[in-house]
Every structure is written in C-alpha cells, then in structure tokens.
Amino acid sequence: MAKITFHGAAQEVTGSCHLLSTPALGEVLLDCGMQQGMRTKHKVSRKQFNFNPHTIDAVILSHAHLDHSGRLPSLVHDGFQGPIYCTEATSQLLPVMLFDSLSLYENDLMRENRKLKRKGKPEIEPMYSKTDVLQVLDLLKPIAYKEKKQLAEQASLCFYDAGHILGSAIVELKFDDEGIQKTLVFSGDLGNKDTLLMNDPTLLEHADIVLMEGTYGDREHKSLGDTLTQFKEVLHQAFENGGNVMIPAFAVGRTQELLLYLGKLQMAGELDNWQIFLDSPMAIEVTQIYDQWLPTLDCEGVKPLCTGEQTLLKNFLSTLHLMVTADDSMSINKISKGALIIAGSGMCTGGRITHHFKHRIWDSRNTLIFVGFQAYGTLGRILVEGAQHIKLFGDDFIVKAQIETLGGFSAHAGQRELINWVANFKSFPKVVLVHGEPDALAALSEKLQQEHNIKAEIPILGQSIEF
C-alpha cells in the first residue's frame, strides 16, 4: 500500500517536504524546502533529514520558493542523485534562489565558526557548497504544464498551473499500487484568484488522496479592489507625512505584483511623486525572468505590458530605480522623504530591509507596509503584532514608524478559495492539510466538515498516512 510521510510543513508554513513510498515509484520526495524564521536562522549545524537521501529515487518540486526548494543542495550533498522534476519557469528561477540562499548560508556559517574558534571549539562543517547547487541544477528535468511525463512503466506525472508564483505547480501523480490505479494530487501553494498577474489555480476532479496547503485556512483576504484603494490611501497619507515608505517583499511573486499595482496607480494618475527603489539584486533578476514569461500570465492583468516596449522593469514605472550594489542601497539613506523602498527579505529575517529599518523605523514620519504572510517567530510577525521595541544588529530600536498591513495582496488562496478548490474533486478523496499553522488548519478542517462533509486529516511532523 502506498504511504506518505510528512517531513516538513506539518502544522507549520515552512519546510515543505513529503515522502511518498510506493512500489511503482520507489521513494519520491514532494518538495525539499527549508524552514524559515528567526528560530532557525542560525541553526546551521542542525540535522537536515530524517530519511536517507541515498534511497530517494526522485524529487518533484512544486515551485521555487525556498520553503519548498531550499534544502535540495543539502539533499544532493548527502547522497541524492536522482532527477528533480519541475516546471520550465521554476528551472529558470531556481539558480537565482539557490545561489542567493547559499551566499546567506555561507555568511551565517562563517560568523558561527568565528564564534566557535574564539571559544576553542571545533568548527562546523558546511552542509552544502556551490558544487552541490550546481549539481542540483544539473539534475533538473523541466516539464511544461499539462505535459504527461512517464516516470516508470506504471507511473506518470503531470503539472498544472497553481497560480501562486511564476512556474508554481499542482502535482498530479498517477501510479499502479498492487494492481490498483491510484492518483495523488499535491496542491503545492495555491494562488489567490483575485490578483492581476497570475492565472487562476487549475481545478482538478479526480484523486485518491489530496495534499492541500492551508496557509490562510482560517481567514479571507480583503478584495483586490479594496486593497488597492487602501494601498493608494496609505501611500498618499505617507506622502503627506513627509517621510519614506518601506515594503518588505519576497523577491519571487510579491515584488512583481507590487510593481504591476504601482504602475497601474501611476498610469491612473493616483500615485504621488514617489521615487520607487527596487533594492534587491535578486528581485531584479527574478523580475527579468518574469518579463520573459509575461505573455503566459493573466491576460487582463498584464495586457498593458505585452504591447510595445513595456515590461515590469522597462517603461512601465517612470520613477523606478534598480538598486543592485550595496553602495546603491546605502545611497537611499540620504533621501529624507519621497522614497518608496521595496526590499527583502519578505519576513524581515535579514536582507537589505533590515538596514532600512535601522535608518527609519524610529521615525514617525515613515511608514512600513506589510503585503505578505509573516510566519511565527519572524521579525515581520513581531512588528505586525505591535512590538514597540525591536533588536537589530545588536542594538535596540524604538518602533515609531506607522505600521500598515494589506491583506489582499497575498499570493495564497484564502479560506473560501481553498474550500472551493478541494470541493471540486468528484471522487471523494482522502484530504490531508499541510503548510499551515495549527489554528489555520483546524479552522479549515472544521469548515470542510460542516460544508462538504470532508473529514480532513492534519498530520504532525514524522507521521505517515497510508492510502
């Protein structure tokens, strides 16, 4: 009988990693993501895997976000040599994501080893290196959406658009299990239908088991129209306050949506005279990849960009400045007002946004706008929850900047969209909820039971489910 074991994103929103065991396919990993948040940032010596990477036959990757892909180099380092299946766009995004993550990891490791050396303790060996990242990229097997890929004599894989970020996929695996044809569907991260850039998540109808994310299982998003109105009003008030705006944004997905929304406000004459700084080399590189794929994305949202010479980075936002080097970034510090800064990391666990906090979070004229999910334990979550003091770079800072949260920009489906997506299955599959905090998954499970008599399971880390 087929079995799936949950090695990550079980009652938490990071570290997606699920191990499918079946005679037809052997041992297959669905995602191999890293945990993210303040609790894990400096745990550079922790054990990586509770399974043997040597025995894994293949990895199927839902999308490029690091909480789904970030441990692939460690998997290779520890002995994995099989194929990594992903979509074509994901294969383009992964080099950017993994090399950026490697740089951060090596810096953390270097700092940790300096401390250990001063204490006379042995240094920590790296869990992976540039060689391992390159090996991951060599193992990638890109597949187009809706292309049926035969993985074995009695097993096939198909990807469908999940509408979350560029290249994000719903995974459909069909395989023979002791003479019975079975279908597993893994949602990956499902997108928010109420966006301008991404396509709607594909609806499927048949499965024996469905693994579905529940990041926003306990709430709905504000509508995009209401969110854009709120965004416009917050930006106008911030401009009137005579300060600057800081927006922590994920390099993949959120940044590109923001550029589209800002461009539409500017085209409508509803954006004050902000100088917009995209202060993230990674986000700039990722946006260049998005620009290549614009014709495949939501036709209404990107229609203005698919005519003539406009792209997200070119001729769409007249006041957009691309800040690549550290000196570019530091030059923004000289601007006392009128700067709108988009920088990573999205949950404020590091990156250039924290340096902008250092220079601005203590000034009430400035505004900090959150446009994405902030996981438990992250600096972003602490600020959203109303912290009046934070610690940065070893110093204490008072929080006086205005804090705003815009819920409608989420790249994840809200509760109603999750329910509608899974209720579309006609085959009454077993439903398993992953990638969500416990309260969110419990609320989603209760709604599914009440409305559709779906009894969803919520596994804990390390649990196995047979189907």
pLDDT band at 46 (very low <50, low <70, confident <90, very high): low
**Residues pairing with 320 in the sheet:** 276
**What is the dihedral angle through the alpha carbons of 105, 108, 114, 117, rounded to the nearest 10 degrees?**
-70
Tell me the helices (H) and strands (E) count for the chain, helix number first: 13, 21
Burial class (CB in 10 A: 0-12, 13-18, 19+), 168: buried
Kindly list the strands in the beta sheet with 169-177, ordered across the sheet, starting from the edge strand earlier in the chain: 149-152, 155-161, 169-177, 180-186, 209-213, 430-434
The token duo for 6 is 């949950």
Say whether 449 sits in a helix, a strand or coil.
helix
pLDDT band at 39 (very low <50, low <70, confident <90, very high): very low
At residue 166, does pLDDT exceed 80? Answer: yes
What is the per-residue pLDDT across 311-341, written as a single tens digit (0 to 9) for each?
Answer: 999 989 999 999 999 999 999 999 999 999 9
CA distance 347 to 27: 33
Mean pLDDT of 46-55: 86
Looking at residue 301, its amino acid is G
Catalogue all structural domains in the chain, each as residue range(s) with its CATH number.
Answer: 3-219+411-466 (3.60.15.10), 224-409 (3.40.50.10890)
pLDDT band at 47 (very low <50, low <70, confident <90, very high): low
For residue 84, give the H/E element and its range. Answer: strand 84-87
Pick from 260, 263, 271: nearest CA to 298: 260
Q: How many CB atoms lie within 10 A of CB 77?
A: 20
- 225: CB partners within 8 A, 6+ apart: none
The token duo for 221 is 């998003």
Angle between helix 281-293 and 88-118 (nearest 10): 170
pLDDT, averaged across the chain? 94
Say whether 445 sits in a helix, a strand or coil.
helix
- pTM here? 0.92
Looking at residue 208, its amino acid is D
What is the per-residue pLDDT across 351-396, written as a single tens digit (0 to 9) for each?
Answer: 899 999 999 999 999 999 999 888 888 999 999 999 999 999 989 9
The token duo for 411 is 């790249």
CA distance 204 to 366: 46
At residue 41, does pLDDT exceed 80? Answer: no
What is the per-residue pLDDT across 237-259, written as a single tens digit (0 to 9) for each?
Answer: 999 999 999 999 989 999 999 99
What is the per-residue pLDDT across 191-236, written as a single tens digit (0 to 9) for each?
Answer: 999 888 999 999 999 999 999 999 999 999 989 899 999 999 999 9
At residue 86, does pLDDT exceed 90? Answer: yes
| Residue reference for tokens 């080097």 | 325
- 331: CB partners within 8 A, 6+ apart: 323
Pick from 55, 5, 65: nearest CA to 33: 65
What is the per-residue pLDDT across 254-311, written as a single tens digit (0 to 9) for each?
Answer: 999 999 999 999 999 999 999 999 999 999 999 999 999 999 998 777 887 877 788 9
The token duo for 292 is 């290549």
Mean pLDDT of 50-70: 96
Mean pLDDT of 110-129: 93
At residue 106, does pLDDT exceed 60? Answer: yes
Residue 37 has a pLDDT of: 60
| Alpha helices (H) along 268-303 | 281-293, 299-302
At residue 38, does pLDDT exceed 90? Answer: no
